[in-house]
């Protein structure tokens, strides 16, 4: 029920929670290895273009649908377009995607918890060579008890936060963890840059190699932008539904996308400076931060402490994102089925954990089981990042651009004003200028959502399946 719906305690609380959702394994674990695999700077440039020209506009659109409807993804589509029930399928697609992502997200987050806990106990993070670190990693991820055990511990952490609700759980934990996260990351960046030989890492991030770019790279960059911004499945929509009417959607969205991108780039600097300084290869794949970094840390004076800090950082990042994935599922059952939050959290948490087990095992006992030539884990990751999220984003853009009344969308867009300045204190002439500028921004944004975003996403889809190539 809209009138009893919980809301964020403060605007900054919302920004930190939404940025916490966006900043996650996608930034620190995935971005470096996908960029490393796709040639570095050229991929990063395409990624930045995707975020700037498409991502930000869709972040605005998604938060806007949430705030306007004050509901979960399924309810939101139903409410905003009464009569066209087909659109609720987009909401269901979002809840389903959240389910899938969370199932394998818990697995990688579990590795991180495992490295941290065992690091504290003194049994990992000390290696004499990268081979030894890689052997350790491969040995651990093949061990069902280790991998499922830590997956379970991480899942319980996620449940515990969401159990306490929006302001009392998610907002409170984000307010504490996000500053800690930033502090640790900055220490690691400073450390990486100070290493001898770090320049090579920086030039890998800055000098594009266009030969390695093809349609596939563009799809991966776009998919990575969606994944990293938590876009296209209703996480931002759900968080937006708890946003107060007098907070600006425009400035919040820009802030969230800016923080997310900044953190991905900083993580890239911290990781590639270390990787190159120690003479390792950037295209190691998903094990990059788990195989290479511990070996790097082992070679450095004081490296053990930095290693621990790094895995703590990764765990925090994963936690603030995983809670947003579980919140999407929770809000759906609470709004639509009228279940209590506590019941949904426990039930959904358990089911997601069970669904994640084949992904956890796909590095060990199930590594030969393939779906479309990929292991279970890789298949779910590819399906969700590169297909389901962009598809969800495409349908959402079509919904906002073509099916809901433009005036009602722009009216919601304007609520909370620009958020840049307090318009009331401005001179009347300046107020008019400010208003005009804001109207123009609204129209440009609407144009991007209505035409540019759908066309680009469609072209990238078609190109990557070879129709246009």
Q: How far is the CB of 267 from ligand PFF (least distance, A)?
A: 10
- Which one of the spans 44-52, 110-118, 301-309, 319-327 is the region binding ligand PFF (CB under 6 A)? 319-327
Is 21 a binding residue for ligand PFF by CB under 6 A? The answer is yes
Q: Quick one: 247 or 381, whose CB is closer to ligand PFF? A: 381
Smallest distance, Å, CB 203 to ligand PFF?
25
Task: Tell me the closest approach of the beta carbon of residue 365 to ligand PFF, in angstroms.
Answer: 26
Q: Does the protein bind ligand PFF through residue 27 (CB under 6 A)?
A: yes
CB of 27 to ligand PFF, least distance (A): 5
| Residues between 85 and 124 with contacts to ligand PFF, criterion CB under 6 A | 98, 101
With CB under 6 A as the contact rule, the residue among 17, 233, 250, 417 that binds ligand PFF is 233
Which range, of 146-154, 225-233, 245-253, 368-376, touches ligand PFF by CB under 6 A? Answer: 225-233
Residue 255 is a binding residue for ligand PFF (CB under 6 A): no
Query: With CB under 6 A as the contact rule, which of the stretches 250-258, 317-325, 429-437, 454-462 interacts with ligand PFF?
Result: 317-325
- Minimal distance in Å, beta carbon 444 to ligand PFF? 26
> If you ran DSSP here, which 8-state letter would residue 469 be given?
-
Q: Alpha carbon of 19 to those of 206, 312, 318, 469: distances in Å?
A: 25, 18, 12, 36
Residue with Cβ nearer ligand PFF (391 or 417): 391
**180 within 8 A of 316, measured Cβ to Cβ:** yes
Dist CA 14 CA 188 (whole Å): 27
Nearest partner of 195 among 275, 310, 314, judged by Cα? 275
Cβ–Cβ < 8 Å for 253, 60: yes
Element (H, E) at 375: strand 374-375
Phi, psi of 81 (to 5 degrees): -130, 75
Of 322, 178, 206, 335, residue with least CA distance to 263: 178
Rama region for 338: left / alpha / beta (φ>0; ψ in -120 to 50; rest)? left
Residue 331 interacts with ligand PFF (CB under 6 A)? no
Nearer to ligand PFF, 148 or 314 (CB): 314
The dihedral formed by the CA atoms of 66, 68, 71 and 73, expressed in degrees to the nearest 10:
-40
Q: How far apart are CA 75 and CA 91, in angstroms?
A: 8
Q: Does 230 bind ligand PFF (CB under 6 A)?
A: yes
Contact flag: residue 261 with ligand PFF (CB under 6 A) = no
Task: State the CB neighbour count (10 A cutoff) for residue 235.
Answer: 29
The two three-digit tokens of residue 248, written as one number? 């600006």
Residue 240 interacts with ligand PFF (CB under 6 A): yes or no: no
Quick one: tokens of 349? Answer: 């948490």
Residues in contact with ligand PFF, total (CB under 6 A)?
16
Q: Which is nearer to ligand PFF, 259 or 325 (CB)?
A: 325
Residues that bind ligand PFF (CB under 6 A): 21-22, 24-27, 98, 101, 227-228, 230, 233, 235, 321, 324-325
């Amino acid at each position: 029920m809209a009138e009893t719906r919980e809301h964020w305690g403060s605007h900054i609380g919302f920004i930190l929670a939404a940025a916490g959702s966006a900043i996650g394994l996608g930034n620190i674990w995935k971005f470096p290895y996908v960029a490393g695999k796709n040639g570095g700077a050229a991929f990063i440039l395409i990624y930045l273009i995707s975020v700037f020209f498409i991502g930000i506009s869709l972040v605005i659109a998604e938060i806007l649908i949430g705030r306007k409807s004050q509901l979960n993804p399924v309810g939101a589509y139903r409410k905003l377009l009464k009569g066209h029930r087909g659109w609720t399928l987009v909401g269901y697609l979002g809840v389903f995607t959240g389910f899938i992502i969370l199932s394998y997200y818990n697995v990688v987050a579990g590795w991180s918890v495992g490295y941290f806990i065992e690091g504290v106990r003194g049994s990992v993070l000390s290696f004499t060579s990268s081979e030894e670190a890689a052997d350790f990693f491969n040995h651990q991820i093949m061990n069902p008890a280790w991998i499922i055990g830590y997956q379970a511990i991480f899942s319980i952490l996620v449940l515990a936060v969401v159990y306490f609700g929006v302001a009392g759980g998610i907002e409170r934990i984000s307010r504490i963890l996000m500053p800690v996260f930033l502090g640790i990351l900055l220490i690691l960046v400073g450390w990486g840059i100070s290493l001898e030989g770090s320049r090579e890492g920086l030039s890998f991030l800055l000098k594009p190699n266009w030969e390695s770019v093809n349609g596939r790279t563009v799809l991966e960059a776009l998919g990575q932008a969606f994944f990293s911004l938590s876009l296209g499945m209703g996480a931002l929509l759900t968080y937006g539904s708890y946003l107060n009417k007098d907070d600006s959607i425009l400035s919040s969205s820009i802030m969230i996308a800016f923080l997310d991108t900044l953190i991905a780039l900083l993580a890239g600097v911290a990781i590639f400076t270390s990787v190159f300084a120690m003479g390792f290869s950037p295209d190691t794949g998903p094990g990059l931060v788990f195989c290479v970094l511990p070996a790097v840390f082992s070679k450095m004076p004081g490296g053990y402490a930095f290693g621990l800090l790094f895995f703590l950082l990764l765990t925090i990042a994963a936690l603030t994102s995983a809670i947003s994935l579980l919140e999407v599922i929770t809000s759906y059952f609470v709004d639509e089925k009228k279940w209590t939050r506590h019941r949904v959290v426990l039930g959904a948490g358990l089911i997601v954990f069970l669904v994640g087990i084949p992904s956890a095992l796909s590095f060990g006992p199930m590594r030969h089981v393939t779906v479309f030539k990929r292991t279970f884990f890789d298949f779910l990751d590819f399906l969700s990042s590169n297909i389901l999220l962009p598809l969800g984003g495409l349908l959402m853009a079509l919904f906002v651009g073509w099916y809901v009344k433009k005036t009602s969308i722009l009216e919601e867009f304007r609520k909370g004003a620009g958020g840049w300045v307090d318009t009331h204190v401005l001179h009347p002439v300046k107020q008019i200028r400010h208003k005009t500028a804001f109207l123009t921004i609204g129209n440009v944004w609407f144009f991007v959502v209505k035409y540019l975003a759908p066309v680009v996403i469609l072209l990238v889809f078609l190109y990557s399946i070879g129709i246009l190539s």
